[in-house]
Amino acid sequence: MAEDFLVRQLYYPFRVWSNRVTKKVKTIFLIFSNGIFNLYEYQFDEPCNYNSLRLVKQKKYIIATQISLSDIENLLMTVQTINEPEISFPQANSMSRIINLIELLNEKPMTKQDITTEYAFDERQTNYYTDAGRYLGLIDKEHGDGNILFRLSSVGRYIMSLEYKERQLAIVAQILKHKVFKDTLKLHLQCGEMPDMQTVVKLMRQSDLYRLEAKSTYERRSSTIISWIDWILSIVEE
């Protein structure tokens, strides 16, 4: 994620090239994840001040077949609802980060400590994001030799083998297998706007979620539902 990098990754190359060329040096940070090129242009307002970094603009580019709203509506009609897994209901709002974690696990299994270090998480955040991947059926958790190891499930490996459009839609399908996400997206499309938190909580209470009891917990977890639905609609290119 763009907010996670160390400023020195940009500052030292900026200073080196500023001393070598006469033209203005533009500082670009590139992230490639899930078939998407994210470019962030930064500027050091005071070239000699390490802490003067400012985001100027950002752009996103996708080299892929477009995903239409009708693709999402088709999934709403065809994806079969499953029983809720006996896994903590997700408290991980960033679907982009979940997908990035899946990409890392596609390269090799990782321990809980590996993931915590990679993302500069605390262990609680690591639990949130690995549990979200497990909830979606994309990540398996194993215990052995005193370590907790995470690897892609067979479904996760299959999805990662797909091209961009098919991969995105397959991830959407994994989300919409869960009643509360399907119901929230349907209501959003019917009303033309995201349901408010209390409406989402009402849908959650109708969905037999695993070990969710306290009102405050429902309210906190509702933000994940809203964020994931926002992500689904963000990939529509119409």
Architecture of the domain delimited by 69-234: Orthogonal Bundle (1.10)
Other beta carbons within 10 Å of 199: 15
Find out whether 79 and 125 touch, Cβ atoms under 8 Å.
no
**pTM assigned to the model:** 0.76
**Tokens encoding 205:** 């209470």
- How many whole angstroms separate alpha carbon 67 and alpha carbon 181? 19
Instruction: List per-residue pLDDT tens for the chain, 238 residues long.
Output: 444 556 777 888 888 888 888 888 888 888 777 667 888 888 888 888 888 888 888 887 766 578 999 999 999 999 999 999 999 999 999 999 999 999 999 999 999 999 999 888 888 999 999 999 999 999 999 987 778 999 999 999 999 999 889 999 999 999 999 999 999 999 999 999 999 999 999 999 999 999 898 999 999 999 999 999 999 999 998 6
What are the residue boundaries of the structural domains of the chain, listed by start? 2-62, 69-234
